[in-house]
Amino acid sequence: MKRQYISFAFRLLSCFVIAGSIGESPASAADAYLPASDDEVLETLPSTLLSSRSELSSLRRKLADNPRDVNTAASVASLYMQMGSQEGDPRYFGYAQAALEPWWEVNNPPAAILRLRAKLKEKDHQYDRALDDLKTFLEHEPQDIQAWIEVSNIYRVQGKYDKSQQACDRLGEFAGDVVANVGLVPLLISTGQAEKADKLLADMLPIIKRESPETLEWVLTEQAEAARALGRDEQAERHYKEGLANNPANLYLLRACADFLLDQNRTAEVLPLLEEHTTDNGVLLLAAIAARRTGKKKVSRDFQTQLENRFEEIRLRGSEPHGRFESRCALELQDDAQKALTLALDNWEKQKEMNDTRNVLAAAIAANDPQAAQPVVRFLKQNGNQDVDLQELVEQLEEME
């Protein structure tokens, strides 16, 4: 039975890495644009949409005839969510939510709807509401692997590491240690146990290759993250390159690798890596930073304008841009350290991943306000964080006091 769990859990990993946010939009809030001719290409549709167009069109017609058809609504939402994750275009998450509209505010919708609704709320950074849905779902499906992994992941993102560990332990009780390690590895990296995480990943690698080679990117990404935390830059770069060789369009890996190269002052390598993937807001931000650092002022300004327009459009829709991206934009593109610090602190109250934490520390240094970062510094020390990049920023802050 546990072998079946292992295989199933690893198949889940292909869609597990968080990519983008429903709060991000590539569309512009600028004035309507009129193309000069019929030949002008306004947007290239994603390959996933083209390949799924027939299936999606059929499902949408069926859903239009019966908007409360649970199976059809779930299928439409799933297809849109797949497109959103693969293309980094959050508009598809909005389309997915529209498919689930009859059940969006219902307390106890069908299980298939509940699972998808939780994922959409997670992508909109409504973590507590996503957890509420997952807990309700688990009352009906107490041994659902995907749900337990997502519970562990959300608690980790929120910095509630004890609860994240409890979810991993619960998962291990019925699915075994190997499956539980899927949730445990990123938790270990966040809590000063990157060496142990690296060992677990090395042990998992043969099983991944045998049971689920399509999820190899997840292992390589986590190996790179563990290596970065330990300051092993050559090892981290090797894992990033292996992952991108396996899938050059993996947006999470692209962002992580670009960040790594920026930190290594290898800025000239960043734009060629990212320039074909700027529909994703995180990628666009890093491309703008790279262009600015390499003196490509016009390119950087164009990217920055696109990004700011996307933030504005999100607000026009009644949502908030991703605080992680907006704070870094303020710091590195708008040269407004105080604004960056305010945004970074607000975002850190919601999520405490490495980049969220780093934004606070970097903005506090730039704003010459080390006291503002003290809650974050205490959090890192209390949880034994060992990330070498974060520790360097903490040392700078302590020298300022």
Per-residue pLDDT band at 45 (split at 50, 70, 90): low
Cα–chain center distance at 266: 24
Query: Does a structural domain hold residue 383?
Result: yes
Residue 19 has pLDDT above 60, yes or no: no
The mean per-residue pLDDT over the stretch 314-340 comes to 93
Query: Does a structural domain hold residue 394?
Result: yes
Distance of alpha carbon 297 from alpha carbon 96, whole angstroms: 37
Query: Does a structural domain hold residue 171?
Result: no
Residue 44 has pLDDT above 90, yes or no: no
Enclosing domain of residue 332: 322-400
Per-residue pLDDT band at 37 (split at 50, 70, 90): low
The mean per-residue pLDDT over the stretch 18-26 comes to 36
Residue 46 per-residue DSSP state: P
Query: Does a structural domain hold residue 353?
Result: yes
Contact 244, 40 (CB under 8 A): no
* CA-to-CA dists, residue 25 to 28, 91, 156, 263, 324, angstroms: 8, 6, 25, 26, 14
Residue 347 has pLDDT above 50, yes or no: yes
pLDDT at 39: 59
The mean per-residue pLDDT over the stretch 47-64 comes to 78
Distance of alpha carbon 151 from alpha carbon 133, whole angstroms: 10
Classify residue 274 by burial, with Cβ atoms within 10 Å: 0-12, 13-18, 19+: buried
Per-residue pLDDT of 72-86, as tens digits, reads 999 999 999 988 888
pLDDT at 114: 96
Query: Does a structural domain hold residue 361?
Result: yes
Distance of alpha carbon 296 from alpha carbon 218, whole angstroms: 33
Distance of alpha carbon 136 from alpha carbon 147, whole angstroms: 10
Residue 24 has pLDDT above 80, yes or no: no
Query: Does a structural domain hold residue 26?
Result: no
Kindly report the backbone phi and psi dihedral angles of residue 250, in degrees, each rounded to the nearest multiple of 5, phi listed first. -70, 110
The one-letter code for the residue type at 384 is G
- Smallest Cα–Cα separation from 203: which of 188, 230, 191, 387? 188
Q: Provide the domain count of the chain.
A: 1
Query: Does a structural domain hold residue 88?
Result: no
Listed range (3-12, 145-154, 292-301, 372-381) with the worst mean pLDDT: 3-12
Could you tell me the end-to-end alpha-carbon distance of the chain, in angstroms, rounded to an integer?
57
Query: Does a structural domain hold residue 1?
Result: no
* CA-to-CA dists, residue 315 to 89, 129, 217, 341, angstroms: 16, 21, 34, 20
